[in-house]
Amino acid sequence: MFKNAEELVRIAEQRSVPISEIMIEQEMEAYDRSREDIYAQMDRNLEVMEQAVERGVTEQVQSVSGLTGGDGKRLHEYLQTHTPLSGELILDAVSKAMATNEVNAAMGTICATPTAGSAGVVPGTLFAVKNRLEPTREGMIRYLFTSGAFGYIIANNASISGAAGGCQAEVGSATGMSAAAIVEMAGGSARQSAQAMAIALKNMLGLVCDPVAGLVEVPCVKRNAFGASNALTAADMALAGIESRIPCDEVIDAMFRIGQTMPSTLRETGEGGLAATPTGRKYQAEIFGK
């Protein structure tokens, strides 16, 4: 039905329906399933996300390595007792994004959006924006379909793999997906969703994948945090009428080309970047031995 962002926006505009509706219909057609089945599956995904967020902000989750855990909860508690400099909505999204990714690092159940390493951004922003916009359950499910539509475009035109394209392909993609979905939930147009996607992803271009000790923990958890804040900012910019000078599809293509030229040491191998710092090497030796 659609192959790129421009086609997706054009179809939505021609039919005067939200992007989420186009994605629902594409899923029905691709898998020959009923609307009810598609909705039910996404509702289950939403439940998994909700449980991961709740666990991460209320329990002292800890990864086996000991590198990550508890920061989402710590930030959530900070929100209850302080007036955050960066704003309550942003910090709420950040705490929930971190919480989700910490649950992942602790071998908990999460929903990959689009990957496990970037699983915090979509639910983090969703459950923060939920408190401001008060959507129905259907609205929350549609949020996931909208983010999924842009994830589908990236996966089919570039990459969502850190090993193939660096962290820009993982957290960067999740950031753009979230920004687009926030815009739709806030009442923005399909074209504004694409603008938000482009603005958000542009600011993640070139982000390397350099997991310390080869684990999806450091710096992954905190990159999910900043992905969430980036998504909210991009969504507000798009809703204000600000446009990306570079079209969404060209931004996605640029990400793909950057990933192709990125050294292998910066693509999930744990051989460069932060993983190659003295402290990064120290953690690797402590966890796995020399």
- Residue-wise pLDDT tens digits, 209-236: 999 999 999 999 999 999 999 999 999 9
Confidence of residue 172 (pLDDT cuts 50, 70, 90): very high
- Above pLDDT 70, what percent of the chain? 100
- Predicted TM-score of the model (pTM): 0.97
pLDDT at 238: 98
Could you tell me if 68 and 198 are in contact, meaning their C-beta atoms sit under 8 angstroms apart?
Answer: no
pLDDT in tens, 137-166: 999 999 999 999 999 999 999 999 999 999
Q: Average of pLDDT values for 240-267?
A: 98
Q: How far apart are CA 71 and CA 56, in angstroms?
A: 9
Confidence of residue 261 (pLDDT cuts 50, 70, 90): very high
- Specify the 3-state DSSP secondary structure of 223: helix
Alpha helix (H) residue ranges in the chain: 5-15, 19-31, 35-58, 71-81, 88-105, 121-133, 137-157, 162-165, 171-185, 190-202, 220-239, 248-261, 278-288
pLDDT in tens, 111-133: 999 999 999 999 999 999 999 99
Q: Average of pLDDT values for 263-287?
A: 97
pLDDT of 290 above 80: no
Which residue, among 108, 135, 227, 216, has the nearest Cα to 173 in the 3D structure? Answer: 227
- Above pLDDT 90, what percent of the chain? 99
Q: What mean pLDDT is reported for the chain?
A: 97
pLDDT of 105 above 90: yes
Amino acid at 85: L
| Residue the block writes with tokens 């790129």 | 4
pLDDT at 1: 84
pLDDT of 180 above 90: yes
What residues contact residue 195 under an 8 Å CB cut-off, 6+ apart? 183, 237, 238, 242, 243, 244, 248
Q: What is the CA radius of gyration of the chain?
A: 18
